Amino acid sequence: MRSTLSELRQSLSRNKSMSISLIVTMTVSLLLAALGLLILAQSDRTEKYLGDRLQLQVNLCTKNSPSANCIGGFATKAQQAAVEEALRGNSQVESFEERTPAEQYEAARVKFGQSETGRKQLETFSPASFPSSYFVTLVDPQKYDSVESELNGMDGVGSVISLKETLGPLFTALDKLRDGALAISGLLVVAAILQVSNTIRMTAYARRREIGIMRLVGASSWHIQLPFVLESLLAALISAALAAAGLMAFMRFVVYGYLRQTLDTFTTWVAYGDAVQVIGYTTVLAVLLAMLPTLLLTRKYLDV
């Protein structure tokens, strides 16, 4: 064991620049993979958070509604009752809540009253500018089409707003960020595998005389391979640790330092527990990334 560790130290000393280059490449690829997985977890959290809330907003007609269902102006009591009956009779509707124009105006006042621009915009409106609305929670947030199509065709309904459609660009952006991070990570993984191969080849060439002597004295194949395996494993663990540190810095300064402070009511954000889980996955990936090529390539380059 002592001789193996000695050979490992000598190998690291001889291949400092290559080892550092390998660690940097693996660290960046692992960090991007970790960010991709974290974005995936955030996307799932956001969809679940919003999916557990109101999925459809049904706005009744006002005097200014452009919908063809609103030729008569404000929705009548009979039309409003028909809409409520349709909501109660639809098997996809779990529950619904009515909000009056006054309640709608108050919600807008709270939302837009946080800035000077919003307050100026609100000055042009009154409670009568807002429609009576129904906020609908669905049994399955994915199956909103049937409810939406039924309500859109009813007299007295000015518009039906789907939360899923409204937030579609957000989920698209999250998906693209995740896919981009994972794609770049994949390219860097390939680069890391090639670098592992090159490192083993160069190290085997530099130690060809020592390896020849070890063969002559009857050293086992595993004894010859072990220093290379340990070197790759050490690089993998260092890379995984650096990637974990980078991910924790992202959690500390971006998620907890900014997103949770400024957008805390928008969704439930990923937590340190999610980051630890992702770190576990990337650590396993780092070990596989280093060990599999090493075990395969040492047999080729060392001819053991």
* pLDDT in the model for residue 304: 46
Q: Are 232 and 290 contacting, i.e. CB atoms less than 8 angstroms apart? A: yes
Predicted confidence (pLDDT) per residue in 16-29, tens digit: 777 787 788 888 88
Phi and psi, residue 194, nearest 5° = -65, -35
Q: How confident is the model at residue 249 (pLDDT cuts 50, 70, 90)?
A: very high
**In the chain, where does DSSP find H-type helix?**
2-14, 16-51, 77-89, 101-112, 116-122, 145-152, 163-166, 168-206, 208-216, 221-250, 260-262, 272-301
d(CA 90, CA 121): 37
The pLDDT of residue 143 is above 80: no
- Of all residues in the chain, the percent with pLDDT exceeding 90 is 11
Q: Which of 17-21, 27-31, 167-171, 180-184 has the lowest mean pLDDT?
A: 167-171
| pLDDT-based confidence at residue 262 (cuts at 50, 70, 90) | confident
- Assess contact for 69 and 63: CB atoms under 8 A: no
- The whole model's pTM is what? 0.62
Coil, helix or strand for 262?
helix
pLDDT reading at 252 higher than 50: yes
Give all domains of the chain, ordered by start, each with its CATH number: 2-50+169-301 (no CATH), 53-164 (3.30.70.3040)
